[in-house]
Amino acid sequence: MTLWTIYVESIYDKKIIEIQIDSESTFLELRKKVADKIDVRWQDLILASKTDYDCRYNSKKLSEIDTGEIYDQCTLVAVFAVNGGSDNNSLKYNK
């Protein structure tokens, strides 16, 4: 077990939150933790860097995502989309 700290910035209120999570946790667990802290449905949450991380990553362990963008001390952006993480890949912003 390796505890990671991941920083997430909301595109709407520009607040940065800190999430501590095991690197062997799934991406879905990360999405749910972020959604809980910023009070949105996890299904409407995409986390982004250079890549949009949506439902396609849910079952992957954080340590197995090999884009080079998710690691201890990284910063991601919280993007809200209509069914953003559920069934489409287009960013349809929804507050």
Instruction: Give which of 10, 22, 12 is closest to 75, Cα–Cα.
Output: 10
The pLDDT value recorded for residue 37 is 93
pTM: 0.84
Comparing 11 with 22, which gets the higher pLDDT? 22
pLDDT mean over 8-21: 92
88 assigned to some structural domain:
no
Q: What is the pLDDT of residue 89?
A: 43
The answer on pLDDT for 86 being more than 90 is: no
Residue that wins the pLDDT comparison between 40 and 20? 20
- Asked if residues 23 and 16 have their Cβ atoms less than 8 Å apart, the reply is no
Look at residue 19 and tell me if it is in a domain: yes
**Number of compact structural domains in the chain:** 1
In a domain, 86, yes or no: no
CATH number of the domain that 50 lies in? 3.10.20.90
